[in-house]
């Protein structure tokens, strides 16, 4: 069966779209891929709504429609690239764009936009979205959701694997060697989000290409210690977070206590923060790992990958390309798979990851 998966991560750099063929057990084939970058104005509006501001409701409602049109266009493009028509796609799974994620708030909440009714209307394809809130309603964190997909696609008997996704926020999935043992996983903290913000502010670039700027700096150990002392890192899982927590203002608060740090040194320190928080999470996961595989935009940051390998020591570090799926498309493929689970009436969450009281079918269905 063929599906389309749509994803825009917390980096808010654009829409990733995949067309995939899914079969049991654990067989997924990429048919086509497409990335649609956000324009500067759209990205600025999206990022502004990730933090408190004025007139949020009207701005969010407008952005919801704009992103719905963008997701629909991305779906139509990847459909054409696959050489298929809408009748050959069973469903679209759309993660949408996360604006806020507050699983520790009272009451807990999560907000994703990108109007799925528009996607269904423009494409004529059943669209499934709003995957996180049902897990939250069942007492879970609502994230991360991709570990269930990692378990389905990447688990192998007798091998303890850890899958690391480095998007705006980073998360890990611990795949046990034995099938009877539970999969675990959680958000480790900032991935690319703080790196992207800092390089944008000081160099005018959307991201630190290859980590080249970070590589020119020196880690400020006092600043790193302050960053690592944040209570999120020591909190026990299940846990998840977002760019509304690890925000530019969070960095500025820490920098106020370490004035005069050179911008390149801050970039190096933020890169080390991502590497050490992931490395510490892996070390603390219990039992270590036989091998670690990385997906997401962070795989293109060579300085970050180098620092992560240093943290892992002798544990082999690869991207998910080694497992047969390009690291740029893992999350979009995951939401195509979650749409498949929804239509089959099967749970899409892992309570051992999110902390939900029980497995639940995820997503809201918008018929063609």
Residues 6 or more apart whose CB falls under 8 angstroms from that of 306 comprise: 211
Q: Which fold has domain 146-323?
A: Nucleotidyltransferase; domain 5 (3.30.420)
Q: 2-143+329-366 has which CATH code?
A: 3.30.420.40
- What residues contact 283, with CB distance under 8 A and at least 6 apart? none
Q: How far apart are the first and last CA of the chain?
A: 17
Residue range 173-204, pLDDT digits in tens? 999 999 999 999 999 999 999 999 999 999 99
Alpha-carbon dihedral 191, 131, 295, 19, rounded to 10 degrees: -140
Confidence of residue 10 (pLDDT cuts 50, 70, 90): confident
Residue 286: band (very low, low, confident or very high) from pLDDT cuts 50, 70, 90: confident
* Average pLDDT taken over every residue of the chain: 97
Residue scoring higher pLDDT (30 or 52)? 30
155-175: per-residue pLDDT in tens? 999 999 999 999 999 999 999
Domain 2-143+329-366 shares a fold with domain 146-323: yes
- 2 in the Ramachandran plot: left (φ > 0), alpha (ψ -120 to 50) or beta? beta
Can you tell me the distance from the alpha carbon of 245 to that of 248, in angstroms, rounded to the nearest whole number? 9
The confidence band for 11, taking pLDDT boundaries of 50, 70 and 90, is confident
Q: Is the pLDDT of residue 273 over 80?
A: yes
Q: How many CB atoms lie within 10 A of CB 22?
A: 21
pLDDT tens digits along 217-226: 999 999 999 9
**Which pLDDT belongs to residue 100?**
95
Q: Give me the residue spans of the domains in the chain.
A: 2-143+329-366, 146-323
Q: CB of 346 within 8 A of CB of 22?
A: no
Torsion sign (Cα): 167, 290, 348, 278: negative
pTM, to two decimals:
0.96
- Provide the pLDDT for residue 287: 73
């Amino acid at each position: 069966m063929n599906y389309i998966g749509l994803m825009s991560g917390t980096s808010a750099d654009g829409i990733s779209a995949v067309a995939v063929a899914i079969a049991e057990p654990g067989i997924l084939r990429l048919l086509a891929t497409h990335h649609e970058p956000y324009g500067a104005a759209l990205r600025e509006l999206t990022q502004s709504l990730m933090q408190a501001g004025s007139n949020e409701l009207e701005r969010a409602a407008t952005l919801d429609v704009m992103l719905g049109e963008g997701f629909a266009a991305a779906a139509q493009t990847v459909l054409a690239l696959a050489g298929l028509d809408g009748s050959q796609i069973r469903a679209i799974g759309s993660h949408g764009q996360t604006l806020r994620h507050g699983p520790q708030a009272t009451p807990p909440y999560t907000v994703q936009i990108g109007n799925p009714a528009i996607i269904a209307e423009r494409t004529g394809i059943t669209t499934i979205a709003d995957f996180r809130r049902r897990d939250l309603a069942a007492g879970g964190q609502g994230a991360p959701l991709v570990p269930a997909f990692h378990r389905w696609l990447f688990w192998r008997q007798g091998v303890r694997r850890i899958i690391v996704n480095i998007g705006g926020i980073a998360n890990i999935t611990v795949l046990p060697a034995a099938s009877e043992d539970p999969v675990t996983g959680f958000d480790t903290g900032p991935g690319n989000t703080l790196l992207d913000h800092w390089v944008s502010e000081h160099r005018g670039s959307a991201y630190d290409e290859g980590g080249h700027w970070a590589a020119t700096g020196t880690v400020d150990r006092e600043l790193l210690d302050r960053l690592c002392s944040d209570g999120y890192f020591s909190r026990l899982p299940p846990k998840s977070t977002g760019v509304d927590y690890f925000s530019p203002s969070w960095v500025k608060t820490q920098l106020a206590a370490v004035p005069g740090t050179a911008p390149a040194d801050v970039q190096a320190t933020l890169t080390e923060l991502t590497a050490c928080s992931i490395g510490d999470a892996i070390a603390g996961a219990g039992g270590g790992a036989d091998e670690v595989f990385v997906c997401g935009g962070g795989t293109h940051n060579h300085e970050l990958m180098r620092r992560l390998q240093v943290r892992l020591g002798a544990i082999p570090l690869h991207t998910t390309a080694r497992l047969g799926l390009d690291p740029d498309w893992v999350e979009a493929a995951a939401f195509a798979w979650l749409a498949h689970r929804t239509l089959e009436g099967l749970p899409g969450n892992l309570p051992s990851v999110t902390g939900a009281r029980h497995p639940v079918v995820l997503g809201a269905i918008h018929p063609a």
